[in-house]
């Protein structure tokens, strides 16, 4: 069974074609500059990457190009589009109603259109991407997989904010949580490694965007991102959690509009804002090592806040069986992992420095000290595979 996974952004459309009998992607790529001019990169394992600059006036042109590449005599991996059994679409937001992955019909799309205000950046392009794919492949099932749905089992006390309840009822202001597909994938793998499907697990997805999630019995009970992906750990360019009056004070003092203030907190804060150097962790470490004090401070703030969240989740769960690191920083940045896991031995978290320093990027690794109460694990995330798996389960 072949499943196509599509992740549509405002000017991009990423794709992966999975062969589910082998549980692996047989081709993947990215269409970029949609609506501007057009560029595509198409990758097949064991072959040289193919790059071209076709014209992409819209998402439909991009998906037509993808299907052309997948079935191309030289560049392709399938002989006909008919080999694609179903398509899985990534959606950042499923609102309160789409609480699990679902085959997308008119009702689901109407609901997703009704909540674009909650998700103005990702919602409209993801819907356009779905519509384009449905037009080009009308006879097969299209499944939506929502980053938020992993959090649908959270209790009210974890998702209702302590503000007037009417604001939740009227505007749906609550914690939704994001990166759920990634947390679900790595938490399931960690439970398998711990050998207990009821395990208490903390997953740290640390990338350009970062979030930390607590999972018990395979269900997320709390997560650091909230109403938007702006909350929680400081990120590449996002502030993470703040005193709630900081934005309004910025507006009063600088005269910035709400949109300008959002931009400050979204695109000019985090590692970039504090260091003044870069949003990329590698650049910030390099500057810190060269003696840049603000770069060191930016890293210290990230570590400090990640530790605080981890500690609070151990308190919420009354224990922890595994602490997991994933995504760009979590999988690759050994120094960041060591700094976050340092001085947590009171809570049973003890890292084997040698194992952490030598574990190869891109592989699953147990980096905990022998006999440590909590396992510290590095698990590469694979959201696309999770989307393909849900799509297969819902359509086979």
Q: Which is nearer to ligand ADP, 174 or 205 (CB)?
A: 205
Q: Three-state secondary structure along 189-213?
A: HHHHHHCCCCCEEEEEEECCCEEEE
Q: Which is nearer to ligand ADP, 41 or 71 (CB)?
A: 41
Minimum distance between the CB of residue 25 and ligand ADP, rounded to whole angstroms?
17
The secondary structure of residue 163, as a DSSP letter, is: S
Minimum distance between the CB of residue 245 and ligand ADP, rounded to whole angstroms?
28
Q: Which is nearer to ligand ADP, 237 or 392 (CB)?
A: 237
Q: Which residues are paired to 13 by β-bridges?
A: 8, 31
As given in the structure block, the two tokens for residue 396 are 């086979």
Q: Is 227 helix (H, G, I), strand (E, B) or coil?
A: coil
Minimum distance between the CB of residue 144 and ligand ADP, rounded to whole angstroms?
20
Q: What is the DSSP string of 295-321?
A: HHHHHHHHHHHHHHHHHHHHHHHTS-S
**Site of interaction with ligand ADP (CB under 6 A):** 207-209, 236, 280-282, 327-329, 332-333, 361
d(C-alpha 92, C-alpha 182), whole Å? 12
Nearest residue to ligand ADP, scored by beta-carbon proximity: 328
d(C-alpha 28, C-alpha 43), whole Å? 5
Q: Which residue carries 């209702």 as its tokens? A: 160
Minimum distance between the CB of residue 328 and ligand ADP, rounded to whole angstroms?
2
Minimum distance between the CB of residue 278 and ligand ADP, rounded to whole angstroms?
8
As given in the structure block, the two tokens for residue 138 are 């009308």
Contact 40, 30 (CB under 8 A): yes
Angle, CA of 38, 90 and 30, to the nearest 5°:
25
d(C-alpha 103, C-alpha 56), whole Å? 27
Q: Which is nearer to ligand ADP, 209 or 232 (CB)?
A: 209
Contact 171, 118 (CB under 8 A): no
d(C-alpha 293, C-alpha 273), whole Å? 13
Which among 16, 2, 38 has a CA at the least distance from the CA of 89? 16
User: Which run of H or E residues covers position 378?
Assistant: strand 375-378
Candidate list 58, 139, 147, 333, residue with the active-site label: 147
Minimum distance between the CB of residue 168 and ligand ADP, rounded to whole angstroms?
28
3-state percent breakdown (helix, strand, coil) of the chain, nearest 5: 40, 20, 35
Q: What is the DSSP string of 70-119?
A: HH-TTT-S-S-GGGEEEEEEEES--TTT--S-EE--HHHHHHHHHTGGGS
Q: Which is nearer to ligand ADP, 40 or 298 (CB)?
A: 298
Q: Any catalytic annotation for residue 147?
A: yes
Q: Which is nearer to ligand ADP, 159 or 285 (CB)?
A: 285
Q: Which is nearer to ligand ADP, 108 or 333 (CB)?
A: 333
Active site residues: 147
């Amino acid at each position: 069974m072949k499943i196509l996974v599509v992740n549509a952004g405002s000017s991009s459309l990423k794709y992966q074609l999975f062969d589910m009998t082998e549980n692996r992607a047989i081709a993947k790529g990215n269409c970029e500059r949609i609506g501007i001019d057009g560029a595509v990169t198409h990758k097949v394992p064991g072959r040289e990457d193919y790059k071209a600059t076709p014209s992409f006036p819209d998402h439909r042109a991009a998906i037509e190009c993808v299907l052309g590449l997948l079935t191309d005599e030289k560049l392709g991996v399938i002989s006909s589009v008919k080999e694609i059994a179903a398509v899985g679409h990534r959606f950042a937001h499923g609102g309160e109603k789409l609480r699990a992955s679902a085959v997308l019909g008119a009702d689901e799309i109407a609901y997703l259109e009704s909540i674009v205000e909650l998700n103005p950046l990702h919602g409209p392009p993801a819907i356009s991407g779905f519509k384009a794919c449905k037009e080009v492949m009308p006879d097969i099932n299209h499944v939506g997989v929502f980053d938020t749905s992993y959090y649908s089992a959270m209790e009210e006390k974890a998702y209702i904010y302590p503000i007037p309840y009417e604001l939740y009822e009227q505007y749906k202001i609550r914690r939704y949580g994001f990166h759920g597909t990634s947390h679900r994938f790595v938490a399931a793998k960690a439970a398998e490694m711990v050998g207990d499907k009821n395990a208490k697990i903390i997953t740290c997805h640390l990338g350009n965007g970062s979030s930390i999630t607590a999972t018990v019995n395979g269900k997320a009970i709390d997560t650091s991102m909230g109403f938007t992906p702006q909350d929680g750990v400081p990120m590449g360019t996002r502030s993470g959690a703040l005193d709630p009056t900081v934005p309004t004070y910025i507006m009063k003092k600088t005269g910035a509009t709400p949109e300008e203030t959002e931009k400050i907190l979204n695109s000019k804060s985090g590692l970039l804002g504090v260091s003044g150097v870069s949003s990329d962790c590698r650049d910030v470490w390099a500057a810190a090592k060269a003696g840049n004090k603000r770069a060191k401070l930016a890293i210290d703030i990230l570590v400090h806040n990640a530790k605080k969240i981890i500690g609070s989740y151990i308190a919420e769960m009354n224990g922890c069986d595994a602490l997991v690191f994933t995504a760009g920083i979590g999988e690759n940045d050994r120094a960041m992992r060591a700094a976050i896991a340092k001085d947590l031995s009171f809570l049973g978290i003890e890292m084997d420095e040698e194992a952490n320093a030598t574990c190869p990027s891109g592989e699953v690794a147990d980096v905990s000290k022998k006999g440590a109460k909590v396992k510290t694990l590095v698990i590469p995330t694979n959201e696309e595979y999770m989307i393909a798996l849900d799509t297969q389960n819902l359509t086979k």
